[in-house]
DNA sequence: TGACACACGTTATAGCATAACGCAATTGAT
DNA sequence: ATCAATTGCGTTATGCTATAACGTGTGTCA
């Protein structure tokens, strides 16, 4: 009873723990730390951080969740449709950038092809082989800056 | 005997602890965590993490050191000349990007005006007020990828 | 049916960062 | 001169983030 359960919907089938973690992130309106997720899931039988981290690892691998490095926290991917952001099947739309409001916590996810292109060009020129690129802008969102 | 000591050279005078921490980072050829720095400075009287973090806070403020968010580690700024990277006096050359080799640990610091421009344009369009931007590319440097 | 892969659960530990206290030294206004 | 404000320092304790190492159960497939 531990294997992934196939669903009628999108990409890879999630296990119970993976679904629970994803649902928590998907309902949240701000990034959550692994330990905050853990606390939200105590009622569902979660007892230890590893249960969360293991689910997060898979969700990251599937491209359904992003890690915000500057926050040590996680968000559900903002483009649930179409297998999202690149890692999943090799396609997707390149590196994703995040704008993080330090007041309300809201995160906007966006992509800029030209930025990708410039960073890629630098890498090529330097013979650097990129594996993962992080772009995070911290500041104040329109609503909070007003 | 705790105040900054003026030096004939560059920007803001550093206190003893700040100098010690900066020197360790400056001599390192890879990013260092605060605790690694602490261990390196035990012989100089450092006993607690806060001594390191407090020095790092100031060095970050002066723009002499960068924090690598994806590593929870620190590097000396690669452009020691000309007050470096933006924070110090308000000028500098915008957001700095880092290419981090996951094999040898080497970090390259660079700047791309067009990337700045594109991210700035997105922010402007969305009414987002950027405070600090992080760009980190993890991968393999030319030497290690060969 | 046995080797394998994978998800899971648990305990323990490692690694990163800050809160809260009090003291010492410098600055600068009065 | 002297007092208040500021800043750096040292110490202890604590909190948050992440992984190591072990063992169990289950489904797959040769």
pLDDT, tens digit, 9 for 90 and up, residues B117-128: 999 999 999 999
Query: Would you list the DSSP string of B41-109?
Result: TGGGT--SHHHHHHHHHHHHHHTSEEEETTTTEEEE-S--GGG-SSTTTS-S-S--EEEEETTT--EEE
Nucleotides of D under 7 A from a protein CB: 7-13, 16-21, 25-28
Answer for A36: CB within 7 Å of strand D.
yes
In a domain, B40, yes or no: yes
In a domain, A44, yes or no: yes
In a domain, B146, yes or no: no
Token couple for B124: 């402007």
Give the pLDDT score at B42. 96
Contact A19, A4 (CB under 8 A): no
In a domain, A8, yes or no: no
Residue nearest to nucleotide D8 (CA to C1'): B2
From residue B97, how far is each of A101, A115, B89, B115 by CA, in Å? 21, 12, 19, 10
Nucleotides of C under 7 A from a protein CB: 6-12, 15-20, 24-27
In a domain, B6, yes or no: no
CATH number where B47 lies: 1.10.10.10
Within a 10 A sphere around the Cβ of A50, how many other Cβ atoms? Answer: 12
Q: Which nucleotide lies nearest residue B73, CA to C1'?
A: C16
Is B132 in Cβ contact with A140 (below 8 Å)?
Answer: no
Give the pLDDT score at A80. 62
- pLDDT tens-digit profile, chain A (146 residues): 455 554 444 467 899 999 999 999 999 999 999 999 999 999 999 999 999 999 999 999 999 999 999 999 999 999 865 545 544 444 466 899 999 999 999 999 999 999 999 999 999 999 999 999 999 999 999 999 98
In a domain, B9, yes or no: no
- What is the span of the domain harbouring residue B67? 16-81+93-141
What is the domain count for chain B?
Answer: 1
From residue B20, how far is each of A13, B23, B42 by CA, in Å? 52, 5, 11
In a domain, B35, yes or no: yes
Answer for A108: CB within 7 Å of strand D.
no
Is B138 in Cβ contact with A138 (below 8 Å)?
Answer: no
């Amino acid at each position: 009873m531990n294997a992934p359960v196939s669903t009628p919907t999108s990409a890879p089938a999630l296990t119970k723990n993976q679904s629970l973690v994803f649902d928590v992130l998907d309902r949240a309106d701000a990034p959550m730390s692994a330990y905050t997720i853990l606390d939200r899931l105590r009622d569902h039988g979660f007892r230890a951080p590893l249960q969360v981290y293991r689910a997060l690892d898979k969700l990251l691998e599937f491209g359904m969740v992003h890690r915000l490095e500057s926050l040590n926290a996680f968000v559900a991917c903002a483009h649930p449709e179409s297998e999202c952001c690149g890692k999943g099947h090799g396609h997707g739309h390149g590196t994703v950038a995040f704008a993080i409001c330090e007041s309300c916590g809201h995160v906007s996810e966006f992509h800029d092809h030209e930025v990708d292109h410039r960073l890629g060009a630098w890498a090529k020129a330097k013979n650097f082989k990129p594996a993962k690129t992080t772009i995070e802008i911290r500041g104040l969102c329109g609503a909070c800056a007003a």
